[in-house]
Amino acid sequence: MWPDILAYIAIAVSLFAYAMDGMIALRLIGLVSSVVFLVHGVITVSYPTIVEQALILPVNAYGLFKMLRLVRQSREAVEGHQTMEWLRPFSSRLSIPAGQILFRQGDAAEDMYCIHSGSFRLAESGLLLGPGAVVGELGFLSPGNRRTQTLQCEEPGVLLRISYDRLKELYFQNPKFGFYFLRLISSRLFENHAAAVEAASARANG
């Protein structure tokens, strides 16, 4: 009797998971479903079910942990103006030599970067960017996905690269991440604008 009830509950939870939109909710429901199926497998001594759910359970748990960490760290980045290195698990690492041009004004934009080390200059505005700075985000927001400035490496460094497709995936998987990310990018835009105005004023007075 109880094994059958547990099986029906697990099936109902699994079906409910398919109706969920957010990745966090989907992972959470998946965890509950795995636990119920695992208990059912133990009661009925079904070793295939036990093995299957014992493998699925940690996968769902780790996926949920990553998404919750991403939301928490993106919120902290907005509130504390920290760097965007919390995107490291979703990015690739690039070593850049001095003098290399990452992209030119007008180029098609497909990714953004967080500077891990070294220094990079935006040619048109003259801004010098160092560790922790984010660059390339404007192409993500612009309708034509075009670079607004040219970026050149001044001192050898390392960049964390994340594609726009990956950002979109994270955005649609988790609305909370999308909200915090847009707030963070807006904050970066204001900071970059203020820095550009200050640099232009310094050149005019110098």
**Could you read off the pLDDT tens digit of each residue along the chain, which spans 206 residues?**
556 666 666 666 566 555 555 566 677 777 877 787 788 778 887 888 788 878 888 888 887 787 777 667 666 655 554 455 567 777 899 999 999 999 998 899 999 898 989 999 988 878 888 887 888 877 877 778 888 889 999 999 999 998 888 888 777 766 666 776 777 677 767 766 777 677 777 777 76
Give the pLDDT score at 153: 96
Give the pLDDT score at 141: 74
- Is the CB of residue 28 less than 8 Å from the CB of residue 14? no
Query: E strands, 39-98, where?
Result: 92-96
Give the pLDDT score at 132: 79
Enumerate long-range contacts of 34-43, CB under 8 Å, 24 or more apart: 34/60, 36/6, 36/9, 36/10, 37/7, 37/10, 39/6, 40/3, 40/6, 40/7, 40/10, 43/2, 43/3, 43/6
> What is the CATH number assigned to the segment(s) 85-205?
2.60.120.10
3-class state of residue 154 by DSSP: strand
Give the pLDDT score at 4: 64
Which helix (H) or strand (E) is 68 found in, with range?
helix 47-80
3-class state of residue 97 by DSSP: coil
Helices 23-43, 47-80: axis angle to 10 degrees equals: 150
